[in-house]
Amino acid sequence: RRQVGTYLPIHLSSMGRACLAAMPEDEREFLLNAIRNKHKEDWIKINRDLDKAFKDYQDFGYCFSIGEWHKDVNSVAVPLIHEQHGLLVFNCGGPSFIMNREKLEEDIAPRLLHMVNNIRTEIS
């Protein structure tokens, strides 16, 4: 279990990936350059994983992390961009034996999208 304030590389979590996918391009490029410089040996895999996450965001509105930051934890995240509140990201995850990709994709992601749309409507 992660504690408040625990460091987690932005490129490994569904929340981080959704954040990267939804942020303005110049900010994303700045962070991607920082990730590339910090993780030179792993950059090809990281970049491939992020490209997939960005495609998922474009196609479906959410991003996954399937065992990337912890081999037994899966999650999905949906970003919300708001004029006043900025970039917010909502996620749901859990142990991989409960939250497999199929459950995340078919059950959890649609619920998260619905929730975020409701929040967007309420705060607009």
pLDDT per residue over 28-77, tens digit each? 999 999 999 999 999 999 999 999 999 999 999 999 999 998 899 999 99
Segments making up each domain of the chain, as ranges:
14-123
pLDDT of residue 73: 96
Q: Provide mean pLDDT across the span 10-32.
A: 97
Residue 5 has pLDDT above 80, yes or no: no
Q: Considering the chain, what is the average pLDDT of its residues?
A: 94
Q: By the 8 A CB rule, do 28 and 36 touch?
A: no
pLDDT of residue 3: 72
φ/ψ (deg, to 5) at 112: -65, -45
CATH architecture of 14-123: 2-Layer Sandwich (3.30)
